[in-house]
Amino acid sequence: MHSMTGSCTMTEKRRQRTILVGVAGASGSGKSFFSHLLESKLKDFRTLILSQDDYYRDHSHISIMQRTRMNYDHPDAIDFDLLVEQLSTLKSGRAIQHPLYDFAVHNRKKETRSAGPVDVVIVDGILIYVPQKCRDLFDFKVFVDTPPDICLVRRLRRDVQERGRTMESVLQQYLNTVRPMFEKYVAPTSRFADFVVEGVGDMLDDVERVQEAILSLKRP
């Protein structure tokens, strides 16, 4: 009788606990598209999408010119201590006040945003599997594997249209830091992924595979 009570308690905890899903891959690979599509498939749950970009370190102490010359594709650019702390808080079923990033000034905003508690957290970022302390928090790790030429075209379109960048500055950054850092730090982390998906097409089949994995943890 005692074991049955214990089993029910453990099942209930298993069903209620917050699940963390990582979505990594190159810049322009389709991580955000995949994340939002997955979120749309989890309508019965409270979900949250967190962006690694919001965890760029604060650089209020240096000029905007100095900020433009920084390498934002290196793991040191990310405040992983804060990201890990806040993901752990969310995983324990509590709320956070997470930072917000302003690409126009290459720095964090003064305001933060309240988030949680939620059932599923989806974290979108190129470097999230690099530090083990971050990698180990995820219940499921997705890696979006997309041909480099497609990634570059998508990044060019996004940065020029949405972030007011010039084509020349985007290409220069891509050649100087984005591509080399991808090859050195991001690409090798695909070996940690539970799901390697192609970042082309509608990605629906792959999203549904991840959705089913999440549901398997949430079922009583």
* pLDDT higher at 13 or 165: 165
Q: Tens digits of per-residue pLDDT, 23-39? A: 999 999 999 999 999 99
Note whether 43 and 115 are within 8 A (CB).
Answer: no
Which CATH architecture best describes the domain 19-210? 3-Layer(aba) Sandwich (3.40)
3-state SS class at 25: strand
Predicted local confidence at residue 1, as pLDDT: 37
Output the CA torsion 45→143→77→180 (10° steps).
-160
Tokens found for residue 217: 């943890």
Predicted local confidence at residue 162, as pLDDT: 79
User: Looking at residue 126, what DSSP letter applies?
Assistant: S
- The residue ranges of every structural domain in the chain are 19-210
Q: How far apart are CA 136 and CA 148, in angstroms?
A: 27
Predicted local confidence at residue 104, as pLDDT: 83
